[in-house]
Amino acid sequence: MKYIFAAFTLLIFNCKNETTKVKTSQKQTPYLTVLSENNTKNPISILLNKTFSNLNTYNNIMLGEKDTLSINISEYEFIEIQNKDNVSDSLIVKQGDTLFINNTNGFITKRLVRNQGNLKTNPISFKDIIEDNFSKKIDSLNAQFFKIDYNSNPLSFSNDYSKIKLYKLKTFRENFKNQKEIEKFIAVYDSLLKRYRAISVKTFKDIRASIYYNFFNDEVLENLKIIYDITKNEQLKAYMISHIKTSYLQNHTDHYGNLRHFIFEILFKDKKDNSRSKITYDILDIYRELPVYINNDDLLRKARVVCLETMAEQGSPIKEITFLLDKFNKTYSDTLFNNYFQKKYLLDLKKRYNSSKELSLIDANGKIISFSNLKKKLKGNVIYIDLWASWCAPCRSAMPASRELISEFYGKNNIVFLYFSIDKNQNAWQKASKIEGIETYEYNYLILNHEHSDLIKNLNIKEIPRYLIFGTQGNLLEANAPGPTSKDIKNSLLKYSRKQFKTLSTLQTSKHYLK
């Protein structure tokens, strides 16, 4: 039995028509208003489809009681509502809508209120169209090759914003050997796609036709990829590539996720490296080979944008990233993307400090300081350093205990707590800092050159979380200190604080005597 990520399927069939008619004469606005009706224990993410038009604004976070968001959206927009205590849900919303979110005992409920204007009928829900008319046919087709066992106990885990479930996948390998059955299978799937496109256009006379067709297409392609992963059938791969290029990507070229999926899960799946702690790709080769598969200039430019972002996110060497960015800029002169990319990944700063052996830090206000200067600034204090990252679950789980320590010792005992993030992405660091309540903390920093600094190299820091303790004179006391959740950490910090303070007092007395 294999496990398969099935949260996508749950997301699709959770689309519900929760619209309530409201008579109003208010003029329609280009915003979706989201209101939190009560306190939420964990942040809620209102996620739009990431597009090349909203590279930096597709994820909107709600924190705390009575929080309000105003999200700029298209006339109609598909949104996902994510919370780490709940499986993702989704809705189609319209400009001027108000979405009320209620948290009852950890369960998120939603109420959508619509400014109807001149609209005479309620929107038809995705569930009514897809599930009743097409899903049974899709399931019947898939059943020849695989079955997702929703009755099995799923593997469950969560990230900052969503609860994820992995279900067992049962495969029927005997059916994969018949080439004629594969050809018939492709023909039926293709027929369903065309029929669904026609129904979408007939049912809706606006952008919703494309939104609903995207949903169905996503489901179809996900299923085809599952079957291809098992069969390795080249005809099926050729069909997917042909279909995506001719009838999907070129009609929906603004959808970032679809293009990324096409590049890394279909075209260049063989260039995936699973041997490290996280998946990486040979981006330089992929970037170079893209024109073989994509001959549309605009689509090729966007595919290369995806490559550059993936390269930065996977932590490729700064020289490789800047080399490829220079190459991209010479070809396309895309000033908007260049500015966005430089700022998000702090490329100019990282390039400037990359060769420095001195650890360089940047705070939330953009102020840069070296670790040696920071130690001078904090001379006379015991320094406790928390090395972390937004993607590190053990780091994040220890944050509440860390905040308790700060509350207990702040301004006392000559003890100072520092946060050093090794995130590649400035936005990821800032969002995680906000969620963990350290966004405005004065000693919260992002490291600009952790891969090249002597401190990281000499201490052989290859894993996080990692905790360090420095003395009042900037001397390293512990290179692998207890974490904030350890029962020993308070005693250790107090011990060093008293010891260092006593030593400092003795030195000051001696100097005074010598005078």
Report, as an integer, the average pLDDT of 74-101: 87
Q: What is the CA radius of gyration of the chain?
A: 27
- Alpha-carbon distance of 215 to 199, in angstroms, equals 13
Both tokens assigned to 98: 């108000």
DSSP 118-137: T--SPPPPHHHHHIIIIIHH
> pLDDT of 353-367, one tens digit each?
877 889 999 999 999
CA 9 to chain centre: 19
Of 176 and 226, the one with more pLDDT: 226
List CB contacts of 392: < 8 A, sequence separation 6 or more.
464, 465
**Residue given tokens 């398969």 in the structure block:** 4
Residue 4 pLDDT more than 90?
Answer: no
DSSP 362-383: E-TTS-EEEHHHHHHHTTTSEE
> pLDDT of 27-69, one tens digit each?
567 999 998 887 767 788 899 988 888 888 888 888 766 678 9
- Alpha-carbon distance of 441 to 417, in angstroms, equals 10
Nearest by Cα to 344 from 449, 283, 426, 264: 426
CATH code assigned to 354-514: 3.40.30.10
Assess whether the previous peptide bond of 465 is cis (omega < 30° from 0). yes
18-115 and 354-514 share one fold: no
What is the pLDDT, as a whole number, of residue 125? 58
Where along the chain do its domains lie? 18-115, 354-514
Residue 116 pLDDT more than 70?
Answer: no
The kind and range of the H/E element at 331 are helix 318-332
- Alpha-carbon distance of 194 to 199, in angstroms, equals 9
Residue 144: HSE in the Cβ half-sphere, 13 Å Cα cutoff: 19
Q: Roughly what angle, to the nearest 10 degrees, separates helices 335-345 and 297-313?
A: 10
CATH number for the 18-115 domain, one of 1.10.3470, 2.40.50, 2.60.40, 3.40.50? 2.60.40
